[in-house]
Amino acid sequence: MSSQTPTNWMPVASADYTNLEELGYVTLNIRIEGDVPAKRRFVYTWKSSNGTEHGQTDPQRLASFNFLPPHDGRFFLNADVTDGVGITRSAGMWVKIGDVAEDDFKRPPIPDDSAQTVIDVDDVSMIFNMASEQYNSLKEYFIALAHHELSFKEFRALDHVSFEVKRGEAFGLVGTNGSGKSTMLKIIAGVLEASEGTCTVTGSIAPLIELGAGFDMDLTARENIYLNGSLLGYRKEFIDEHLADIVEFAELKDFMDMPLKNYSSGMVARIAFAIATVAEPDILIVDETLSVGDFLFQQKCMRRIQELIGSGNVTVLLVSHSIEMVEAMCDRVCWIEKGHQRMIGPTDDVCAAYRNLGL
Ligand SMILES: Nc1ncnc2c1ncn2[C@@H]1O[C@H](COP(=O)(O)OP(=O)(O)OP(=O)(O)O)[C@@H](O)[C@H]1O
Ligand SMILES: [Mg+2]
């Protein structure tokens, strides 16, 4: 890179509210730190906090943008800055217009010992048998089986894990890939049986565990709502009554009579989430299901989960690779690493320790 095209520059955003009261706009100012590139273009974008409203400017030379908010609320303002050789860097920030209630969701407080225990995981281990030889065909496998040559290696996906979850908690499980989080959730949901130890659950469970579990891909979405609903213990009359709510929440009105195999994975997730949360389950289990939904649907699901948590009746078990999401939602977290329980405690402590893993 020649000295004419410096690349060590970075845009920094700041907001100026001085014209808000009189003229009704907020100014986003972009300062360039480092070697300011000679030719620079700015494209400004904004979006409302729920993502439904947004806008974009043409490329321009001005390092500031006057944003006229359409109404009170929180908005994200962003600048994409492109230099003469086409390198683009972004800077953005949230601005608050008017009397906006701060994010009114508060993660639930950590309950005291007298609160009812709804999930009791007591010294649970899960051992999977894995064939220790590789067989190239089913025929080879059966020959080995017939000759009693088949040997298995034991694999401990969970090793002596214990925790209790109290009623009304939002309990998070974190850990790197393959650490046993989904296995733990399946044991709690009753899909898998623990090899050792016990797991006791009090109340009804709505599990959002594996995409498509509880669905028949050859049936239509409508038929699957009834099928999945019955697996969740809803009566047919209940589903009749709530079908419109489910379809509306999933926003898939025009696709109800299409076989599920033609749905995208995000569409399946929408249906699954809508059914699982149409009634208030005692325990809602969410395993990363939301990550396949688009950002608008994810926000909608988060709000629904927050409503359920806010009701104080529902216990939520959340597995997510988004540490921010876990921090926003959960009062306590258990960190499972390669099958071992590494740490359990208040969210901030556990998430801070988990974050340090990457340092
Ligand atoms: N049915 C099974 N048979 C054999 N091994 C399994 C089975 N299910 C899971 N495992 C193994 O158990 C370990 C834990 O898997 P699990 O899916 O619980 O991890 P996870 O923490 O959910 O990971 P991720 O973050 O990738 O979702 C993995 O090594 C996986 O290969
Ligand atoms: Mg998993």
Ligand 1 atom at minimum distance from 321 CA: 25
In terms of Cβ atoms closer than 10 Å to its own Cβ (0-12, 13-18, 19+), residue 137 is: exposed
Distance CA 335, CA 353 (A): 9
Ligand 1 atom at minimum distance from 192 CA: 1
Q: Which two tokens stand for residue 89?
A: 């860097």
Instruction: Give residues with Cβ within 8 angstroms of 103, minimum separation 6.
Output: none
Say if pTM beats, i.e. exceeds, 0.85: no
Ligand closest to 210 (CA) is 2
pLDDT digits (tens, 9 = 90+) for 234-282: 889 999 999 999 999 999 999 999 999 999 988 888 999 999 888 888 9
Instruction: Determine the pLDDT at residue 121.
Output: 98
Question: Best substitution site from 158, 174, 179 to test ligand 1's pocket, by max atoms within 8 Å of Cβ?
Answer: 179
Q: Please say if the pLDDT value at position 103 is more than 70.
A: no
81 strand-pairing partners = 42, 89
* Ligand 1, atom 30: closest residue by C-alpha: 178
Q: Please say if the pLDDT value at position 221 is more than 50.
A: yes
Higher-confidence residue of 310 and 335: namely 335
Distance CA 116, CA 87 (A): 56
Distance CA 293, CA 279 (A): 21
In order of 13, 165, 170, the CA distances from 18 in angstroms are 16, 49, 41
| Dihedral angle, C-alpha 276, 281, 284, 289, nearest 10 ° | 0
- C-alpha 276 – ligand 1 centre gap (Å): 23
Q: Of the candidates 1, 33, 7, which has an alpha carbon nearest to the alpha carbon of residue 88?
A: 7
Residue 141, by phi and psi: left (phi above 0), alpha (psi -120 to 50) or beta?
alpha
Q: Which of 131-135, 188-192, 327-331, 352-356 has the lowest mean pLDDT?
A: 131-135
Q: Of the candidates 281, 272, 289, 271, which has an alpha carbon nearest to the alpha carbon of residue 205?
A: 281
- Of the pLDDT bands very low, low, confident and very high (cuts 50, 70, 90), residue 131 is low
- C-alpha 181 – ligand 2 centre gap (Å): 6
The chain-wide mean pLDDT, for the chain, equals 88
Q: Please say if the pLDDT value at position 3 is more than 80.
A: no
Instruction: Determine the pLDDT at residue 213.
Output: 72
CA 151 and chain centroid, separation: 39
* Ligand 1, atom 31: closest residue by C-alpha: 178
Q: Please say if the pLDDT value at position 208 is more than 90.
A: no
Ligand 1 atom at minimum distance from 183 CA: 18
Q: Which two tokens stand for residue 301?
A: 């699901």
Instruction: Determine the pLDDT at residue 2.
Output: 43
- C-alpha 157 – ligand 1 centre gap (Å): 7
The domains found in the chain, sorted by start residue, are 9-97 (2.60.40.10), 117-125+157-356 (3.40.50.300)
